[in-house]
């Protein structure tokens, strides 16, 4: 797993839950994302059940983290039977989210809205380089970057069942 063609450069941002009707949504999908026991060399493994346009598909992904924003990623489609077998290796709580992909100024953003929050969401952008300038949509309130904050990873959010910001307010 050390080819550069599978490198993903991604930055993540905590945003206020936007009105998705104001976005130029290219596609949306309901995703149930389940983390599995770590793979060889500490790779992160997951499976997804993705429902889009009434069709269900399944994927298996392995990621090796090279830095906070760069990872080597290998993903493939799998059968429903393979998904059912892999799901037995569950590690933690599954993530239930809706992903909206939308264009803004030549950039393809992905907005993840989680079933446990109607106040916050995570917006991601895959970059061509780590130094790429990001132009944010005017109709989305970006609160802060959370690329390097593990508390905002999908696995941590699922296990906590809330955003760290919401948990602090409960105290």
Domains of the chain: 7-170 (2.40.320.10)
For the segment 121-165, what is each residue's pLDDT rounded down to a tens digit?
A: 999 999 988 888 999 999 999 999 999 999 999 889 988 888 997
Residue 118: partners with Cβ closer than 8 Å, 6 or more residues away? 17
**What confidence score (pLDDT) does residue 3 get?**
43
Average pLDDT over residues 77-82: 98
| Residue pair 43/98 in contact by the 8 Å Cβ criterion | no
Arithmetic mean of pLDDT over the chain: 90
Pick from 14-18, 92-96, 97-101: least confident: 92-96
Q: How confident is the model at residue 168 (pLDDT cuts 50, 70, 90)?
A: low
């Amino acid at each position: 797993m050390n080819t550069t063609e599978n490198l993903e450069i991604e930055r993540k941002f905590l945003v206020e839950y936007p009105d998705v009707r104001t976005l130029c949504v290219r596609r949306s999908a309901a995703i149930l994302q389940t983390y599995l026991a770590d793979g060889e060399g500490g790779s992160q493994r997951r499976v997804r059940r993705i429902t889009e346009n009434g069709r269900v598909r399944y994927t298996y992904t392995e990621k090796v983290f090279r830095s906070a924003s760069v990872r080597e990623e290998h993903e493939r489609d799998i059968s429903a039977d393979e998904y059912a077998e892999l799901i037995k290796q569950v590690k933690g709580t599954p993530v239930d989210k809706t992903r909206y992909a939308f264009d803004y100024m030549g950039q393809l953003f992905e907005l993840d809205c989680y079933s446990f929050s109607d106040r916050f969401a995570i917006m991601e952008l895959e970059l061509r380089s780590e130094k790429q300038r990001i132009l944010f949509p005017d109709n989305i309130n970006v609160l802060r970057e959370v690329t390097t904050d593990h508390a905002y990873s999908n696995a941590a959010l699922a296990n906590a069942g809330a955003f760290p910001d919401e948990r602090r307010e409960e105290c």
